[in-house]
Amino acid sequence: MIRFTPILLAVLYAFVMYRFSVWRTRRELDAHSTELADPRLKAMTDRLAAALDLPRIRVNIYEIDPVNGLAAPDGRIFITRGFYRKFQQGEVTDGELASVIAHELGHVALGHSRRRMIDFSGQNALRTALAMILSRFLPGIGIWIANALTSLLAARLSRGDEYEADEYAAALLTKAGIGTEAQKSLFRKLEALTQARSGAAPAWLMSHPKTDERIAAIEKLESRWALKG
């Protein structure tokens, strides 16, 4: 029993942290968001909703400046005020914003947003448990190995999630008749934006894999779907 106590404690800690993170995220989003009411974007989300057989898709504006889209653990979709502003200024098209919404819907549909919350809080617990176990066999460097392993695992998980959400979005945008061109052009625009202001990369790009590779992955899907006709 004693041997397993550290692991049990780590699991318990992870659970409590998870509940706390979900609660804190919801409170933050509730306090700083409103429903998006834009007729041009509503036309887009209505097309996505029709493709999914849903009455409507609700999108919220999260009142922060960084260009970002996010899916909350409770399944709500958010576009930041900064991203919406780019649309209002004509820098981003309605189709491009629809591609972000489709990508975030993918995270929700595939259960990523809930899991990601576990990632944040669970990572610490996993790190602690691994460090405890490894330190018994490898005193001194056990903690270092635990850190490296946990970070590697987290990076792999989130990269995989991004490609899956892109794939979901590509399929949904195709079915809705919006197409994947907007998805790809947005990647290019955001990358140009990153280079124009180095050091101020949009948050949405930073947490995602390389632009070239994401575009290539979508093009691979396109050719596969074209073959199947």
For Zn ion, the binding residues (CB under 5 A) are 162, 165
Torsion of CA 160, 48, 51, 111, to 10 degrees: 30
Residue type, 39: P
State the minimum distance, in angstroms, from the CB of residue 24 to Zn ion: 21
Residues 168, 106 contacting (CB under 8 angstroms): yes
Q: Which is nearer to Zn ion, 13 or 213 (CB)?
A: 213
State the minimum distance, in angstroms, from the CB of residue 104 to Zn ion: 7
Q: Which is nearer to Zn ion, 134 or 154 (CB)?
A: 154
69 DSSP β-pair partners: 79
Q: Which is nearer to Zn ion, 135 or 194 (CB)?
A: 194
Q: Which is nearer to Zn ion, 44 or 165 (CB)?
A: 165
State the minimum distance, in angstroms, from the CB of residue 16 to Zn ion: 27
State the minimum distance, in angstroms, from the CB of residue 112 to Zn ion: 8
Q: Which is nearer to Zn ion, 119 or 162 (CB)?
A: 162
State the minimum distance, in angstroms, from the CB of residue 211 to Zn ion: 13
**Which alpha helices (H) appear in the chain, and where do they start and end?**
5-31, 39-51, 81-88, 94-109, 112-137, 142-175, 181-196, 203-206, 211-228
State the minimum distance, in angstroms, from the CB of residue 70 to Zn ion: 8
Q: Which is nearer to Zn ion, 84 or 204 (CB)?
A: 204
Residues 138, 189 contacting (CB under 8 angstroms): no
Rounded CA-CA distance 103/70 in Å is: 9
175 contact partners, CB below 8 Å, separation of at least 6: 51
- Phi/psi at 177 (nearest 5 deg)? 80, 10
